[in-house]
């Protein structure tokens, strides 16, 4: 299975709320490595955030989104809230907010946010496949 396929399958499983498959894929990635993962997850996160906040946003909107994410996902409780807000705002154009963010921490945050974004969006199968194709194209530009 190609790396791109593994990450596409991870996104599909997250969108379908198939947490057993999500855990299985994540365990496999821990074993085999995350080569290409930061590009795929980063692309999915950035596209999802920009879709979520397409109509405009304020720092308060971002803070509310982070608070909702932290309340819905137990893994998010250990992540720093202010840095999470900075990561979302960076995806929306304020890139200077993440200059000192550890890449591993950023990846963990992006995965948690991606779960929230996919659940909130609730794509049908055609929309999900369109989203994944967009993510794959965007990630391929950065591989």
- pLDDT 10s per residue in the chain (143 long)? 344 688 999 999 999 999 999 999 988 888 877 777 888 999 999 999 999 997 778 899 999 999 999 999 888 888 999 999 999 999 998 888 888 888 888 999 999 999 999 999 989 999 999 999 999 999 888 76
Interatomic CA distance for residues 126 and 106, integer angstroms: 29
**Threshold 0.85, pTM exceeds:** yes
Closest CA to 128 of 103, 136, 61, 106: 136
Instruction: Locate the domains of the chain by residue range.
Output: 3-140
What number of CA atoms fall less than 13 Å from residue 50's CA on the CB side?
14
The angle formed by the CA atoms of residues 85, 34 and 65, to the nearest 5 degrees, is 20
Interatomic CA distance for residues 133 and 126, integer angstroms: 11
Interatomic CA distance for residues 115 and 12, integer angstroms: 10
């Amino acid at each position: 299975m190609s790396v791109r396929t593994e990450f596409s399958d991870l996104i599909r499983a997250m969108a379908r709320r198939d947490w057993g498959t999500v855990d299985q894929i994540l365990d496999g990635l821990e074993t085999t490595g995350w080569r290409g993962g930061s590009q795929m997850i980063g692309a999915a996160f950035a596209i999802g955030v920009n879709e979520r906040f397409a109509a405009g946003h304020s720092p308060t909107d971002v803070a509310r989104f982070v608070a909702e994410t932290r309340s819905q996902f137990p893994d998010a409780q250990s992540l720093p809230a202010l840095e999470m807000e900075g990561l979302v705002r960076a995806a929306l154009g304020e890139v200077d907010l993440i200059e000192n963010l550890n890449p591993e921490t950023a990846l963990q945050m992006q995965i948690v946010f991606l779960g929230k974004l996919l659940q909130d969006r609730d794509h049908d199968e055609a929309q999900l496949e369109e989203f994944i194709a967009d993510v794959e194209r965007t990630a391929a530009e950065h591989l």
